[in-house]
A and B are shown apart, each in its own frame.
Chain A
Amino acid sequence: MNRRQLLLAGAAAAVTIRATPALAAADEGDLLLGLWRREKALALAYGQQVHTHPELFGPARRHANDHAAALATELAAVGLGTPEAPWTPNDLDAAAQRLAVAKPADALAQAALVEEGMLELYKAALPALPDAKIAMTAATILASHAQHLFVFRDAAEVT
């Protein structure tokens, strides 16, 4: 079992053990935990590429960390803690990993792809978040990813 698998298994165990405040919170907590992981992975990936487009990836990394911090607060609201953040590209989801290890010439296109994935992720999550306050927080993060996607596509002339 590698470090990534260990972390995932640990997080799953943490969800099972700590999700006691409300039955509904378990699903919501799982979802929030998944979003938190993706944001932390994205922040690390932007950090790996920030030298290629500092004016774009610097703010994007900061925003991903801001999103993760807001999600961590929501995780606390449903009685869950936050696991250890990823440390290396090997700890990331596939899309973030591709961005993290992309060649400089491909970084912008990979960033657009990963933001497209984040936007779809939040679009899918929004109907599944029963708590109004949590859903509104997710909605603003969705808006942020839509803006980053637009800006990266514009810069890369992907569209």
Chain B
Amino acid sequence: MVSRRALLGAGALLLVGCGPPEEQEVNATQVWGEQLRASQRALAAYPPGISPRAKAAARVDRLEVLAGAAGETPTATPSLEAALNAERVALQTHVAAVGQLSDRTSRETLATLIAETAEAVSALRLLMDEPPIVDAFPGQRNRP
């Protein structure tokens, strides 16, 4: 039987454009590996020399420690647009991880990652002469 709380909770997520996460066993190392790959793909897409790139590199360094491995370095054709798209995906990945990891340390780390990645999205949009903020819920899947 579905509880009132579960129904309303799912409704709230749908309201902000995100479906309820499926319940399954979580492998924390795997989740951090996904965060690392998303941030690595974003870093690879940054054109060299632009200001937000250094912070993106710092995020990858931190995630390498948490994921326990550097992994393969992704390749990309760098451009502001590619970096923006990749950071948007990274932000969605970090928000999704909040639903998977509930321990205090992970949530604190994810909160910082989400704040920094959201800032990177706005910074890249400014560099592209686009509105830096386009949505009240950045990081929800299927939203800008």
Contact = CB atoms under 8 A, between A and B. Distances in A.
Interface of A: 21-22, 25, 59, 62-63, 66-67, 69-70, 73-74, 76-79, 119, 122-123, 126-127, 130-144, 146-151, 154
Contacts of A139: 94-95, 98, 110-111, 114, 139
Nearest to B3: A21
Given A66-B136, A126-B108, A119 B115 contact: yes
B133 A151 contact: yes
A131 B6 CA distance: 10
Contact of A146 (B5, B9, B15, B118): B118
A22 B9 CA distance: 14
Contacts, number: 143
Contacts of B10: 133
Contact of A137 (B12, B96, B114, B133): B12
B102 A135 contact: yes
A82 B108 CA distance: 28
B140 interface: yes
Q: Which of B12, B95, B110 has the most CB of A within 10 A?
A: B12
B76 interface: no
A144 B11 CA distance: 21
Q: Is the interface of A mostly helix, strand, loop or mixed?
A: helix
A26 B104 CA distance: 19
B4 A62 contact: no
Q: Is the interface of B mostly helix, strand, loop or mixed?
A: helix
Contacts of B107: 126-127, 135
A137 B138 contact: no
Given A126-B110, A132-B98, A132-B100, A74 B136 contact: no
B115 A143 contact: yes
Instruction: Say which size band chain B's interface belongs to.
Output: 35 or more
B21 A133 contact: yes
B18 interface: yes
A78 B6 CA distance: 9
B5 A21 contact: yes
A25 B6 CA distance: 12
Given A76-B8, A134-B9, A146-B116, 6 more contacts: A69-B15, A127-B108, A139-B110, A141-B136, A144-B135, A147-B138
Given A70-B16, A123-B115, A151-B133, A77 B108 contact: no
B102 A132 contact: yes
Contacts of B118: 142-144, 146-147, 150
Contact of B121 (A67, A76, A78, A147): A147
B75 interface: no
